[in-house]
Amino acid sequence: MLCYEHNKTLFYTKTYHNMIHIFVAFLLVSTSLGPVLSLQPVPDSGHRQLQNCTLNPHKDIQKLRRVQAYLKKINKPAVKTIQSPDGDVIDCVPSHLQPAFDHPQLKGQKPLKPAVRPKGHNLTEAVSESFQLWRDTGESCPKGTVPIRRTTEQDILRASSLRRYGRIRRHVRRDSTGYGHEHAVVFENGDQYYGAKASLSVWAPRVTNEYEFSLSQIWIISGSFGNDLNTIEAGWQVSPELYGDNYPRFFTYWTSDAYQTTGCYNLLCSGFVQTNNKVAIGAAISPRSSYNGRQFDIGLMVWKDPKHGHWWLEFGPGLLVGYWPAFLFSHLRSHANMVQFGGEIVNTRSSGFHTSTQMGSGHFAEEGFRKAAYFRNLQTVDWDNNLVPLTNIHLKADRANCYDIRQGRNHVWGTYFYYGGPGRNVRCP
């Protein structure tokens, strides 16, 4: 908004937020203001100072109105609201009113019934009722509704622009470190894939600044690493820009044109159809793993429904979250040609050297169990809706001195790997 690109963090402060509204109100009743105004520096209080900023009153009013219009569109009427301990507000929205049904091809429809799970899927684990912080309140959303994390004005103002909010990941290649994205992953290609499954440990890695993130996820990929890339992604991420804190949060993402204009995180656009009233996409995960202490992991499975062709998502021990309709995609309407598991960070080199943003636990793979992050029981789904082990495994660490990966196999964990690292260190300048 005001001097936004150079002073973004000031929007996080209550003082500056109030200043915006006072300023806009003043503009609406005054006609004597000149076209250019200057603000004096705001007292620091731990935040950056506002320096030599030029204001554009007309543009600022327009942007504020666009933000308010977007909030009205994305935050649907709720039958119940729940205040989470981490500050989130969870809205219980009637399932047929969720953002997905703003899409022209879904308008007037209702969520589909659950798909048939792949053969060989084990549902014997006990379901934890408290795997997200908002559930610690003891409150829940009624049947027939879906829990949606409310988007706030502060969420949008942290983004580089309203158009980019919750949408653009700004990278298009898996095989390079362009755009500052670095990976430590296991992947398999060379066949037709109809899904993937794994359990991944949850940590709270340190993220150096608001322009970076750290995530661990499953990718379902089809097309080439160019303008026609289709991906479905799910896992956990720490993203101060998107969420305003450093909690690991359950997230989803999709795109059908290599992250250019289609797709978004979570439910921030019309796309993913949620069917579950116990899981809030974008909400903080609890508990989390601790170094040399208790380890906590979550199960994830994405697979293509043989009957309707939609891609379904399961989270935790057997909870169907919802599905991505097949019509959202081009290549993924039929199948994937690659599946990928692992971690990703953004390295902005904001201080002139490699970031100290952590991946996974922040420790290298060689440290092993209770110290390094892991994925276990990696499987893919074949053409006949069977879960099968990986047979053509490849490992890739873009910067092994910063974040690395080690893969193994045993009778308890099946195919597994440890991964991650601290980022900047003596071997990673």
pLDDT in tens, 9-27: 433 444 444 444 444 444 3
Among the options 182, 210, 212, 344, which is catalytic? 344
Q: Please, what is the Cα angle at 275 between 78 and 131, to 5 degrees?
A: 85
Cis bond before residue 287 (omega within 30° of 0): yes
Verify whether residue 233 is a known catalytic residue: yes
Comparing C-alpha atoms, which of 336, 124, 166 is closest to residue 251? 166
Of 119-133, 279-293, 321-335, which gets the smallest average pLDDT?
A: 119-133
Domains in the chain and their CATH numbers? 181-421 (2.60.120.1270)
Predicted pLDDT at 374: 98
pLDDT above 90 (res 58): no
Comparing C-alpha atoms, which of 220, 294, 207 is closest to residue 253? 220
- pLDDT tens for 135-164 read 999 999 999 999 999 999 999 988 877 877
Comparing C-alpha atoms, which of 99, 94, 101, 73 is closest to residue 141? 94
Q: How many Å apart are CA 304 and CA 264, to the nearest integer?
A: 20
Residue whose token pair is 């794994």 = 198
Q: Which amino acid does the sequence have at 159?
A: A
Residue 11 contacts residue 3 (beta carbons within 8 Å): no
pLDDT above 70 (res 357): yes
- pLDDT tens for 261-304 read 899 999 999 999 999 999 999 999 999 999 999 999 999 999 99
- CA 204 to each of CA 109, 317, 376, 409, 419: distance values in angstroms, whole numbers, following the listed order: 38, 21, 19, 26, 14
Residue 10 contacts residue 48 (beta carbons within 8 Å): yes
Residue 372 contacts residue 187 (beta carbons within 8 Å): no
Token representation of residue 143: 């049947």
Among the options 182, 233, 241, 314, which is catalytic? 233
Q: Which amino acid does the sequence have at 315?
A: F
Q: Positive or negative, the Cα torsion across 359, 365, 370, 371? A: negative
pTM for this model (two decimals): 0.85
- pLDDT tens for 384-414 read 999 999 999 999 999 999 999 999 999 999 9
> What value does the CA radius of gyration of the chain take, rounded to a whole number of Å?
22
